[in-house]
C-alpha cells in the first residue's frame, strides 16, 4: 500500500531541496526522520515534517505499522517564482528571483 504526503510553496529552491531528498531516498521512514534531525540544511526540516505527515497518514487512514514503511519516492518540483527588484547603480535595477518548491513523498510498505 502506498501512502502519499505533499507540501507546497516551500520557501527554498528545488535544487537545494533535492540534495536532501537524495540522502533519504530508499531509507526506512523512521530512520529517515532520525537522519534528517541531525542534518544542518534548511531543507531537512521541510522533508522531515513531510515524512512525519506521511507516517501519520499511513497510521490513521490505512492502519499501517510505521516500522514497515520505506521512502519509495521523494521529489521536489518547481513552484511559482517571486520576482522582485533591487535598485542598482546608475538608475538600473537588479532582478531578484525567490524560488519556491513543491515536495512530494510516497511511502510504501516493506515486503515481509
Mean pLDDT, all residues of the chain = 95
Tens digit of each residue's pLDDT (9 = 90 or more) over 28-75? 999 999 999 999 999 999 999 999 999 999 999 999 999 999 999 999
Range of the domain at 16: 2-109
Domain count, the chain: 1
- Cα torsion for 12, 16, 18, 23, to the nearest 10°? -120
Domain containing 73 — which CATH number? 3.90.470.10
- Measure the CA angle with vertex 53, ends 42 and 44; round to 5°: 15
Q: E-assigned strands of 26-87?
A: 69-78, 82-87
Residue 95 confidence (pLDDT) above 90: yes
* pLDDT, position 112: 63
Amino acid at each position: 500500500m502506498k501512502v502519499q504526503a505533499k507540501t507546497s510553496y516551500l520557501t527554498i529552491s528545488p535544487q537545494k531541496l533535492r540534495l536532501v531528498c537524495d540522502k533519504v531516498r530508499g531509507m526506512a521512514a523512521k530512520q529517515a526522520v532520525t537522519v534528517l534531525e541531525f542534518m544542518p540544511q534548511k531543507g531537512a526540516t521541510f522533508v522531515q515534517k513531510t515524512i512525519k505527515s506521511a507516517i501519520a497518514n499511513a497510521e490513521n487512514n490505512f492502519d499501517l505499522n510505521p516500522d514497515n514503511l520505506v521512502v519509495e519516492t521523494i521529489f521536489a518540483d518547481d513552484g511559482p517564482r517571486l520576482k522582485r527588484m533591487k535598485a542598482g547603480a546608475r538608475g538600473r535595477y537588479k532582478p531578484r528571483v525567490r524560488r519556491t518548491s513543491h515536495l512530494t513523498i510516497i511511502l510504501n510498505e516493506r515486503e515481509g
